[in-house]
Amino acid sequence: MLQAKGSLKVNGVITQIRESLHTSDPDEAHRKCLQLEMDILLGKKIVGRKVSATQVLFSDLIKRFLADPTTGSGKTVHQILEKLDDHYGSTLVSDFTKADATHYIYENHTSKGHGNNHTRRVITQIQSLLNYAHEQGFRNERITLRKPPEDIKDLEVLSPSEIDAVFKRLKPCNRRLASFILYTGARPAEAYTLRRKDVDFPRKTCVLTSIKGRNRVPRKRTIPLNAKAYAAAHGNQLAELDKGSDLMFTYMVDKEHRPYHTVGGYSYFINDWSEACTRAKVVGKSPYTLRHTFGSRLGDNNTPFAVISQLMGHTDPKTTMRYVHPTFEDHLTAVTSIL
């Protein structure tokens, strides 16, 4: 049997490795060796020391959690867990208590005046991490942490005059992207990654895909394209489709098309949007406000609840309720319609 033998630098520490690859085939051994290296770097396999189920550190648990495809791994999750790692990385997972969680939340969030919604998000993530540890056999019991009440805030939307003022100050490629978000209700990230194959120009529809939730399963929804959404998708002389890419939206730098779904692309759009808002004297409106505006217009037009939910890609009815504003006259019409 062939072995993987050598050294690997993990988190700044050189670790000696000697592992059986359980094969005599050189090609198979090479493949397994690469997989072993990847598992070690991701923290899915610990080498150089034997750790019992009750001796796993928070830093090791967080690496496993982020490397597991069944758990959340978005930007916010990484930020929350990185901060938790800074405080408890060398702490045994089995020793962490509810009191520790309460103290951490108070010291790092409540005492600093962070809003209830942000604090709830952090508590939910810590709870998910600890219960993941239970599922992996690193803790004896599941844990439930108390959360502050949810803050229900009015949605920020853009007025027609604000849209005109901001849009005319955006770069053409960013204006095209913003227009698509406004008239389809796409999450910005959905628009960044939209592919040509997802847009059916003859039928005037597009398929938006989001990856949310614990299992990270892609969720798709089909959106009909109205005239303005169709025009944004189609492009124009000032903001043409990149013929050499399968992405629907790209931006130009030095006459070269670049994707939006990178750190540079995200910054390019956000910075231009912020500058346009400043010059237009529009305060407190992020690009996500475009999506809120789409949903609010649907609600104001008395669009059926289920249709709003499906077009917005909601899975929680409470989220859709934020876009619906029924009046007494609506209630009266509803009850008299069944006579």
Per-residue model confidence as pLDDT tens digits over 30-49: 788 778 777 776 666 666 55
Residue 215 has pLDDT above 60, yes or no: no
Average pLDDT over residues 2-12: 69
Amino acid at 85: D
Token pair, residue 128, equals 């998910």
Per-residue model confidence as pLDDT tens digits over 76-92: 888 899 999 998 888 88
Give the domain 162-292 fold.
hpI Integrase; Chain A (1.10.443)
What is the pLDDT at residue 248?
93
User: Hey, do 58-135 and 162-292 end up sharing a CATH topology, with the first three levels equal?
Assistant: no
Residue 24 has pLDDT above 90, yes or no: no
Q: Which residues, 6+ apart, have CB-to-CB distance to 59 below 8 Å? A: 85, 89, 90
What is the pLDDT at residue 333?
81
Average pLDDT over residues 119-130: 92
What does 169-225 look like in DSSP terms, one character per residue?
TS-HHHHHHHHHHHHH---HHHHHT-BGGGEETTTTEEEEEEE-STT--EEEEEEE-
**Would strands 3-10 and 13-20 be described as parallel, antiparallel, or unpaired?**
antiparallel
Domain residue limits, the chain: 3-42, 58-135, 162-292
Token pair, residue 221, equals 């929804």
What is the pLDDT at residue 130?
92
Average predicted confidence (pLDDT) for the chain: 86
Cα distances (Å, whole numbers) of residue 330 to 13, 229, 247, 294, 338: 66, 30, 43, 21, 13
Q: Please, which residues bridge with residue 259 across strands?
A: 250
Residue 299 has pLDDT above 70, yes or no: yes
Q: What is the distance between the alpha carbons of residues 174 and 272, in angstroms, rounded to a whole number? A: 8
Q: Which CATH class is domain 58-135?
A: mainly alpha
Per-residue model confidence as pLDDT tens digits over 264-277: 888 999 999 999 99
- Select, from the ranges 17-31, 54-68, 170-184, the one with the highest average predicted confidence (pLDDT): 170-184
159 versus 24: the higher-pLDDT residue is: 159
Residue 180 has pLDDT above 80, yes or no: yes
Residue 50 has pLDDT above 50, yes or no: no
